[in-house]
Structure 1
Amino acid sequence: MQAVDSSSLSAQAPGYGDFLVEIKSQIRQRQFQALRAANRELLALYWWLGENISQRQAALGWGKGVVENLARDLQVEFPGRNGFSAQNLWLMRQFFNEYSDKPKLQSLIGEISWAKNLLVMARCKGDLEREFYLRATARFGWTTNVLRHQIDNHSYAQYLNGQTNFDAAVPDTIKAQALLAVKDHYTFDFLGLAEEHSERELEQALVRNLRGFLSEMGGAFTFVGNQYRLEVDGKEYFIDLLLFHRRLRCLVAIELKIGDFKPEHKGQIEFYLDTLDQQHRLEGENPPIGIVICRSKTKTMVEYALRTMTRPLGIATYTVTPQLPVSYRNDLPSPEQIAARLQGWAASGEDGEA
């Protein structure tokens, strides 16, 4: 008598496949919620410890020796828990003191891990800068290494200085991701190019150093091709570089310019984006995005060019040496403008990685 395969019978039961998918989704969701709750409880404990150490120092005159003795006693009681080292206890005290009078930031610190909080606390001094990295880390699920990379790459300044028309031209579902995905300035110091070079030399050097190029672009890009061929009415046109952003799920056309940004560059990239959208965008993909990377630009010129642009476009600059434009130091928006922009971002309610 042939054995009956119970798994085959179950798989054939009406609605079984959909129910299995639902169970898996519920398990993953509950596991994530449990981890999130555990992280909040741990941070609440660290906050309580930091608060009480700070208060006892002020009221009872506790010094360095008392805190070090406390660390030893806790490690004896809870062996293997390195979270109670003297260094960590001092960090808990700093954690409480840094955020005790900042309710807006208090609502955000519980959303990310202790290690990420320490990184933000150590590397970011202003409240608005900290708010940016706390929100972005929680929303996009940045790992500690990704967060460190974002800070190293001045993502806060890039986000604030970025000149795009994404607010009007990108779907709300990916707007925040897109604003973070396109930088305002790129450093191609890994190319070994001389200061004077042609657009073709720049393009070929980027293709030869593809790993470094994609890393500088932000990590979520994949390479599609260079001198990517388009055909319209029997005529050929070529995009300098074509990438695909995996999380935005869209093609990204890049035009390289070794001089100043000019208004005619907008018309060229807009034509490419129209053609990509009509002829090359696959089902399920978002409309393509364009980036013009030029040697220099003026904010007013870019603002005028973007005002009538209907396709998503960002205008960025580049250098072949590790330096940032002077504008990063002098032209950040006012604190009120920054706060309003972060608040608008928070209100968008978008989730997902960037």
Structure 2
Amino acid sequence: MSNPISDNYKDLLMEIKQRIRSAQYEALKAVNREMIKLYWDIGQMIFTRQQEAGWGQSVVEQLAKDLQAEFPGISGFSARNIWRMRDFYLTYHSKEILPPMVAEIGWTHNIVILEKCKDDLEREFYIRMTCKFGWTKNVLIHQIENQTYEKTLLNQTNFDRTVPTEIRNQLKLAVKDEYTFDFLELADEHSERQLEQAILTRVEPFLQEMGGIFAFIGSQYRLEVDNEEYFIDILLYHRSLKCLVAIELKIGKFLPEYVGKMQFYLAVLDDKVKLPNENPSIGIILCKSKQRTIVEYALKESNKPVGVATYQIVSTLPQELKNQLPAPEQVAKLLEGFE
């Protein structure tokens, strides 16, 4: 007769390992929060003394030397980093929303956001995205340099009318107006099949550019309706929002009829593929170019959640689009619902 202990051992081992990893993760988060609080307090003390006693650069230089001598095994007390602590405190101390959030990401992430972002709403966006998607420092820098904030706020979708209220803001922030595929080795002139094949050879950076929380399900995903076959170019799954994401690749300009085809795909996915506990499927039509007014009309009467975006091999965002960014109060409202 088999030993019941040995039969259950693998399950026990897996459960304990998961618990250990969970505890390690929580411990790391706690350490990070304490470090951010320490840097905040140091920044506050430096700023306060400067205001009271008129301290200048020489005091910070001396402070850095003394701290490094006192704590030789601890990094982070260079003069440059101490000035960053002061700037960190000075930037956020009078804000209402941001101070609790900055402790949820690493110090190097905070510095990148502090130095590369121009206003509080942009900083809040990247802090939230870093928390949500676990971006590394390099991925964060890439997202900022590719203007993900602007490209997300400018996106064209019909999600206000077609998705449940509780996930609407999260979903709107999951689709960009333009995607940058600078990791693809493609000539300026390429076919849709070449674009798809290039993406399939670089799935990981493709998923990162799409938002970092997608899982790849398949390419040329087959649907069958009344003995007729249909194929979705790329099918993804959004792990956080729990919904299928159908992507159609178009190497030319956007045409209104693309929306009808996507609606058909989404209806079939919802009926035949979507699981009962999942949210409605969404579609992203990726084109080489689009005219925003035509997209608005095409999406106006659509009853399925569809977004229309462009892709570039090199990142660009025309000045005229920058001028169309939503008002700050609209951006703040959008970020409120993103958890």
TM-score normalised per structure 2: 0.83
Q: Percent identity?
A: 55
Task: Note if 1:267 corresponds to 2:265.
Answer: no
Give per-residue Cα distances to partners, 1:187-224, cap 9 Å, x unaligned.
23444444444434433443455455444333444444
Give, in angstroms, the shift of residue 266 of structure 1: 0.9
User: Residue 208 and residue 296 in structure 1: after superposition, are their counterparts in 2 closer, same or farther (change >3 A)?
Assistant: same
User: Residue 176 and residue 336 in structure 1: after superposition, are their counterparts in 2 closer, same or farther (change >3 A)?
Assistant: closer
Higher alpha-carbon deviation: 87-96 or 272-281:
272-281
Residue 315 of structure 1 aligns with an amino acid whose one-letter code is V
Q: Does the 8 Å CA contact 2:180/2:314 hold for their aligned counterparts? A: yes
Give, in angstroms, the shift of residue 186 of structure 1: 1.7
Q: 1:94 aligns with which of 79, 87, 93?
A: 87
Give, in angstroms, the shift of residue 150 of structure 1: 2.7
How do 1:25-174 and structure 2 match up within 5 A? 34-171=27-164
Give, in angstroms, the shift of residue 327 of structure 1: 4.5
Residue 178 of structure 1 aligns with an amino acid whose one-letter code is L
Higher alpha-carbon deviation: 306-315 or 239-248:
239-248
User: Residue 141 and residue 6 in structure 1: after superposition, are their counterparts in 2 closer, same or farther (change >3 A)?
Assistant: same
Q: Does the 8 Å CA contact 2:217/2:236 hold for their aligned counterparts? A: yes
Higher alpha-carbon deviation: 159-168 or 90-99:
159-168
Higher alpha-carbon deviation: 151-160 or 238-247:
238-247
Give, in angstroms, the shift of residue 115 of structure 1: 2.0
The corresponding residue for 1:281 is 274
The corresponding residue for 1:183 is 176
Give, in angstroms, the shift of residue 243 of structure 1: 3.1
User: Residue 174 and residue 142 in structure 1: after superposition, are their counterparts in 2 closer, same or farther (change >3 A)?
Assistant: farther
- Structure 2: how far apart are the matches of 1:299 and 1:223? 29
Structure number, greater radius of gyration: 1
Give, in angstroms, the shift of residue 291 of structure 1: 0.8
- Structure 2: how far apart are the matches of 1:139 and 1:217? 14
The corresponding residue for 1:293 is 286
The corresponding residue for 2:306 is 313
Give, in angstroms, the shift of residue 126 of structure 1: 0.9
- Structure 2: how far apart are the matches of 1:65 and 1:213? 48
- Structure 1: how far apart are the matches of 2:218 and 2:224? 16
User: Residue 7 and residue 294 in structure 1: after superposition, are their counterparts in 2 closer, same or farther (change >3 A)?
Assistant: same
Higher alpha-carbon deviation: 181-190 or 269-278:
181-190
CA-based RMSD of the aligned residues comes to: 3.5
- Structure 2: how far apart are the matches of 1:42 and 1:298? 48
SS in 1 for 2:304: coil
Q: Does the 8 Å CA contact 2:146/2:315 hold for their aligned counterparts? A: no
SS in 1 for 2:280: coil
User: Residue 209 and residue 86 in structure 1: after superposition, are their counterparts in 2 closer, same or farther (change >3 A)?
Assistant: closer
Q: 1:228 aligns with which of 216, 221, 228?
A: 221
Number of residues of Structure 1 aligned to a counterpart in Structure 2: 337
SS in 2 for 1:317: strand
Q: Does the 8 Å CA contact 1:155/1:180 hold for their aligned counterparts? A: no
Give, in angstroms, the shift of residue 307 of structure 1: 3.2
Give per-residue Cα distances to partners, 1:147-176, cap 9 Å, x unaligned.
333323322112211112334434566545
Q: Does the 8 Å CA contact 1:273/1:311 hold for their aligned counterparts? A: yes
Q: Does the 8 Å CA contact 2:153/2:176 hold for their aligned counterparts? A: no
TM-score normalised per structure 1: 0.80
Give per-residue Cα distances to partners, 1:78-127, cap 9 Å, x unaligned.
22111222222111111122223323322322332322211110111211
User: Residue 121 and residue 253 in structure 1: after superposition, are their counterparts in 2 closer, same or farther (change >3 A)?
Assistant: same
User: Residue 173 and residue 334 in structure 1: after superposition, are their counterparts in 2 closer, same or farther (change >3 A)?
Assistant: closer
Give, in angstroms, the shift of residue 274 of structure 1: 1.2
- Structure 2: how far apart are the matches of 1:262 and 1:78? 64
Residue 305 of structure 1 aligns with an amino acid whose one-letter code is A
SS in 2 for 1:258: coil
Ranges in structure 1 where 5+ consecutive residues have no aligned partner? none
- Structure 1: how far apart are the matches of 2:82 and 2:247? 49
- Structure 1: how far apart are the matches of 2:28 and 2:197? 46
Give, in angstroms, the shift of residue 71 of structure 1: 1.5
- Structure 1: how far apart are the matches of 2:93 and 2:291? 41
Q: Does the 8 Å CA contact 2:245/2:281 hold for their aligned counterparts? A: yes
The corresponding residue for 1:218 is 211
